[in-house]
A and B are shown apart, each in its own frame.
Chain A
Amino acid sequence: MRKALLLPLALLAAPALAGELEVGVQIPRLNVAEYHRPYVAIWLERPDQQHVADLAVWYDLKLKDDEGEKWLKDLRQWWRRSGRQLDMPVDGLSGATRAVGTHQLKFDSTRPPLAGLEPGDYRLVVEAAREVGGRELLRVPFSWPVDGPQSAQAQGETELGTVTLTLTP
């Protein structure tokens, strides 16, 4: 009886569990005399660069007197499109800087910021800026929603490694 009830429910729920957007960001190992983990902003934009939604901002949250926020403007494209309008830290968005390696972020399409994302063309944007280092910005174009699983990637050259985007319907 219980199983019989659950099965139709699962079927009903299936379209609502529509999908997932997974972002992989590789922070490369750099051979430099003075290394600090990069500040990274990850967001979605329209093809005309209009900001749609922030996915994550990694910066130095722990410095006293919020001193880490002083350098957020070095993520200069993100600062222009979104950051300067925010009062950091923002729950669900702010995070500590990440170590060298690949970091995966998953976003459920039934929840903000993906819920309510209108069908259309978008770009995933990843911007990284490093203290006493450089800055790099990568874009990965995609269309939303997707019919089947899709993936795309962009390759950084200096401050970022591979950025991957995986979409599941």
Chain B
Amino acid sequence: MKPNLKWAAVALAVCLPLSAEAHRAWMLPSATVLSGEDPWITVDAAVSNDLFYFEHFPLRLQGIGDTEAVPAGSPPGARPRPAARLSVLAPDGSEVQPQNGSLGRYRSTFDLHLTQKGTYKLAVANAGLFASYKENGQTRRWMGSAADFAKQVPADAEELKVSQTNTRMEVFVTSGSPSETVLEPTGQGLELRPETHPNDLFAGEAAEFVFLLDGKPAAGVEVSVIPGGIRYRDQLGEMNLTTDAAGKVSITWPNPGMYWLEAETRTTAGVTAPASERRASYSATLEVLAP
């Protein structure tokens, strides 16, 4: 497995309660650029191999459908892991609630009523520890908070390897004119600071994005950009970029459509025991319009 795929798998596993392997997790909005007095969007959230198809598991989000139920398709005896927390920020920075949530076999779905003009941000962020170890010869994985680590992971676990993880998944949607308030970074984990507004992307034009780790520009971050519609072509069409010294990448969109962007970085800087390294990942679904 390619190293960056492996990290994707791990990062996603942390974020995604049910996927242990290298699937992609994403949210897909019905529209990202809206006009009119009373716009709504509907959003699908899923974990899948191909973009953007519903084929593996729903992305389980708190408050969206019955997340207490054991998901269909789970191995026998599986218990649902905690659902991830979705936060939706309105243009004024306040948090708003999704509506009409439902959890299906392959996807979660919810609606958002865009009552303010400007840019909304949908985010699913997680921070915690990821551990892998052997117990009775079996490889075990664990993920959770630092507080639970000592309680839940055997102190004498063999081949114990612990990472400190941050994951963040985002979607941007604009009603009327784009605004900047929700683009303000939180200063935790790997984040996108757009120089080109994420709802102002056009085929054939370059977009500039800066990646921040804990609020500071992050050099050498690997960024992958994949157009949706994978099922109907032979090549993945992935663009691979690396952030420069200022944390910046420039992406020229070849075609209009929905894209999935993923960035990841690992470091040993600032890592505290029991973790021996740190992994941070960021992903976003971006819509590129025809000029």
Binding site for B on A (CB under 8 A): 65-67, 69-73, 76-77, 79-80, 83-85
Contact = CB atoms under 8 A, between A and B. Distances in A.
B234 to A, nearest CB: 29
B35 A66 contact: no
Secondary structure at the A interface, as helix, strand, loop or mixed, is helix
B176 A66 contact: no
Given A65-B38, A73-B36, A77-B291, 19 more contacts: A65-B37, A66-B37, A67-B36, A69-B35, A69-B37, A70-B35, A70-B36, A70-B38, A71-B35, A73-B33, A73-B35, A76-B289, A79-B33, A79-B35, A80-B202, A84-B35, A84-B177, A84-B178, A85-B177
Interface residues of B, number: 16
A73 B39 CA distance: 12
Secondary structure at the B interface, as helix, strand, loop or mixed, is loop
Nearest to A84: B177
B290 A76 contact: yes
A72 B35 contact: yes
B34 interface: yes
21 contacts: A65-B37, A65-B38, A66-B36, A66-B38, A67-B36, A69-B35, A70-B34, A70-B35, A70-B38, A71-B35, A73-B33, A77-B291, A79-B35, A80-B200, A80-B202, A80-B289, A84-B33, A84-B35, A84-B177, A84-B178, A85-B177
A73 B173 CA distance: 13
A65 B200 CA distance: 27
B36 A69 contact: yes
A129 to B, nearest CB: 12
Nearest to A77: B291
A94 to B, nearest CB: 13
Contacts of A85: 176-177
Contacts of B202: 80
Interface in B21-52: 33-39
